[in-house]
Structure 1
Amino acid sequence: MWLSGFGHFHLHPPHNPAYDFAVDMNQSISLDKPKPIQGFPRVADKIACDPDRTSTIFRRFDRLSARNLLFLEAQLAELEARQKRSDEQDLVAASPTAVECHSDWRKFEAYATERNGDGSFAKPEQAAKMELALEIKDKLNEYHQALATHQVLLNSKPPAKTTIKGMRDCFLDTKSGKLNPTPQLWGSSMARFDNENDLVALRVPADQDRLSELILNYFGGFFKFESSDGNSAYISEKSLARCVAIISSFLSAILLFGSIVSLYFVHNPYALLGMLGGWTVLFATCVGWLTNAKRDQTFAATAAYAAVLVVFISGTLGGAPNSNVVTSCNCTLT
C-alpha cells in the first residue's frame, strides 16, 4: 500500500506462534551435528558411526594375556603340588576316613562339612581337602576360560591396514593441519596404535582377499562417503565388494575365453604347448595372488583349467589345420 506523505507502508500478517515454531524446527534441523567432546566420547562416536562396523579395533594385550596365563598356570601348579602331597600323606597314614573320602564323594562331602557343637570342623583335614578341591576347580575354570578366549583372539582375522591407518589418523588428529595435533586419548592410551600386531578387529570384511586389499589401498578414495554428521569419512564395504565381484568376473572371462580365442588361431603344435603353459601359469598366479584360496584349492582349480584347454586343443575346435592332416591306412592289393 502506498500512502502519500508517509512513504512506503507494509502490512504484516498477525503473529502466528505455530509459524515461529516451524521456522525454529527447520533451522535446528539444518544445523550440522556438533562433534562430541574430545576424548573417549569422540573415539566411541567414531567407532559407532561406522555402518560396516570394521572400525571396531581394540588392543589384544598379548603381553599381558601371556603373563596372566603364566600366573594362572603357576597358581594351578602350586595347587596341584599341594593336592599331591595330601594324597601322599593319606597313602602313608591309610586311615579309614581317608580311604572313604577318596572313594565316595558323599562321604567326603559329609566329613568335610561336619561340625562340632562349637561350630568348628569335626574333621579339619577333610575340610581342608574340600577347600583345596574347590579352589582348584575355580582356578582351573578361570585358566581354561582365559586360554579359550586368548585362542579365539589369536585366530581372529587382523584388521585391514587401511582401516588401521584411518583410525590412527583420526585418533592422533594428524589430518587437522595443526602444527602440534593432540591425540584423542592421553596418558598410556596414546600408544594405542603403535603396535599393529597387537590389534584385533571385532568385525572384518567378509571378502578380505588380496584383490580387495589392492583396490582398497590404491583406489579406496572412489568408495568413500561421509557420515551423516559430516565429521567422518568411511569406505563402503558393499561398493567395494561389488567392484571386486565385477573385476573378478571380468578376469575370469578373459582367462577362459581369451585363452580359447588365442589358441584357436595358432596352428603350430609347439606354440600351442607354449601358450597352454603360459595361460595355465597366468591362471594359477591370479588364483594364488588375488584370492585367499588354499594350496589344494589353487591346485585343483589350475588342474581343471588346464584340462579344459587340453580338451579344446585336442578336439575339432582346436587350431590344428584339418586339411593338412595325414592319416595312416593299411592298403592291400587284391
Structure 2
Amino acid sequence: MQGYDRLAAVMAADKGLSIFRSFKRLNAKNLLYLQAEIVNCESELDEIIEEDKNSGDFFREKYSTSVRCLKEGLGDETPKQWVKIRQLRELLDKYNTAALQYAQILRLKPPHAKDREVFQRWLKENAFCSTTAEFNQWFGENDENGGDLVALFGRYENVDALTRWVFRIAIPCFYKLVGYRKAKGDVETGMVYFDDDKIIRATRVTSTITSSAIPATSMIVLYLVNHMAWRLAIIVVYNIGFSMLLGLLAKARRVEVFAASTAFAAVQVAFITNFPRD
C-alpha cells in the first residue's frame, strides 16, 4: 500500500490518529462572504419592495400582502421581488448550513501532543505525497498549520487521569524498554498498535481494586493502632491519599471529591468511636 491508501489504513487502525485540517480561517472567510452577499441581497430586496409599494399599480401594491400575487405576477414575467426572495432563500440555506458545520468544527479539539508527535513522525518517515503542498498540508514547513489541526476521535477524552498517564507515558516507556523486542508491526502500515479498549479495561480493574482496598486497609490499621492521636493522624493521611487517588482514578468533579472525602472521614471517625482501645 502506498500514498493515501496507506495513510487511510493508519487512521483506520488507530482512531486517535484521525487528524485533519479544520481550515478555520477559510471557513470563517466563506461565512463572511456569504453574510456579505445576504446583506447586499437584503438591501436590494428592500429597494424593490419600496418600488412595488409606490408603483401605483394595483397588483404590484398587493405583493406585500399576498404571496399568491407575488408569485404569479403580471403575465409571464416573474416579479423582481420574488426573484430576489428566491435568491435570498438560496443564500440563507448555504449560510445556515455553513454556519452549523463551522460550529461543529469549532467544537472539535486539537489532537493530543503524543498522537500529534506519532502522526508527524510517521508522515516524515513515509513521504507519501509527491507535491510539497500536499506533504505540508498538516504541519507546513515551519509547523504553521499545527494550530489548525483537529482530531476526530479524542483518545484521552472521557477517561480518568490514570488511563491518560498509561496512554501517554507508561505504554511508550514499555515499548522502548521491552515491547519493541516482541511487538510486530502492522503489515500494511508498519506501525505497532496497542488496544485502547484493553488498556481502559485494565485501568478500570485497577481503580476498582484500589477503591475497595483503601477503606478496608484503613479499618485494619485503625483497629491495630491503640493511641487516639495516632489514629487521628492516620485518618488525615488516609484522607489525603484517598482524595488524591480519587482524582487520579475517577472522572470526578472537585465537589464530588470533597463529598467523598468527607464521607470517608466520617466512616473512619465512627469506626474509632465504636472501637475505643485506649
What is the TM-score when the length of structure 1 is the normalising length? 0.67
Pick from 171, 192, 204: which aligns with 1:220? 171
Q: Quote the sequence identity (%).
A: 22
Is 1:200 the equivalent of 2:150? yes
* AA matched with 1:190: F
Q: Which runs of 5+ in 1 are unaligned?
A: 1-35, 116-120, 174-181, 325-334
* Alignment-derived partner of residue 100 in structure 2: 148
Is 1:189 the equivalent of 2:141? no
Distance 2:263 2:215 in 1: 12
Distance 2:54 2:242 in 1: 73
Q: Quick check: 1:158–1:199 contact (8 Å CA) kept in 2? A: yes
* Alignment-derived partner of residue 42 in structure 1: 6
Is 1:170 the equivalent of 2:122? yes
* Alignment-derived partner of residue 299 in structure 1: 255
Distance 2:57 2:240 in 1: 77
Distance 2:83 2:215 in 1: 71
Q: Quick check: 2:20–2:150 contact (8 Å CA) kept in 1? A: yes
Is 1:68 the equivalent of 2:30? yes
> Shift in Å at residue 312 of structure 1?
3.5
> Shift in Å at residue 184 of structure 1?
2.5
What is the TM-score when the length of structure 2 is the normalising length? 0.78
Give secondary structure in 2 for the equivalent of 1:226: coil
* AA matched with 2:100: A
Q: Which has the higher contact order (CA 8 A, sep 6+)?
A: 2
Alignment of 1:31-180 (within 5 A): 36-37=1-2, 39-48=3-12, 50=13, 52-93=14-55, 95-111=57-73, 114-115=75-76, 121=77, 126=79, 128-173=80-125
How many residue pairs get aligned? The number is: 263
> Shift in Å at residue 254 of structure 1?
4.2
Pick from 197, 202, 212: which aligns with 1:243? 202
> Shift in Å at residue 305 of structure 1?
3.8
Q: Quick check: 1:209–1:292 contact (8 Å CA) kept in 2? A: yes
* Alignment-derived partner of residue 318 in structure 1: 272
**Stretch deviating more after TM superposition (52-61 or 255-264):** 255-264
**Stretch deviating more after TM superposition (145-154 or 250-259):** 250-259
* AA matched with 1:217: R
Q: Which runs of 5+ in 2 are unaligned?
A: 176-182
> Shift in Å at residue 197 of structure 1?
3.6
> Shift in Å at residue 70 of structure 1?
1.4
> Shift in Å at residue 169 of structure 1?
0.9
Describe the superposition over 1:30-65 as per-residue Cα deviations: whole angstroms up to 9, x where unpaired: xxxxxx23x3333233334x1x53322211111111
**Structure with the bigger percentage of helix:** 2
Distance 1:312 1:216 in 2: 35
Q: Quick check: 1:263–1:319 contact (8 Å CA) kept in 2? A: no
> Shift in Å at residue 154 of structure 1?
1.9
* AA matched with 2:134: S
Describe the superposition over 1:184-226 as per-residue Cα deviations: whole angstroms up to 9, x where unpaired: 3232233313344422233334644432221112122447663
**Stretch deviating more after TM superposition (245-254 or 141-150):** 245-254
Describe the superposition over 1:116-163 as per-residue Cα deviations: whole angstroms up to 9, x where unpaired: xxxxx2xx6x2x211211111111111111111122222234433322
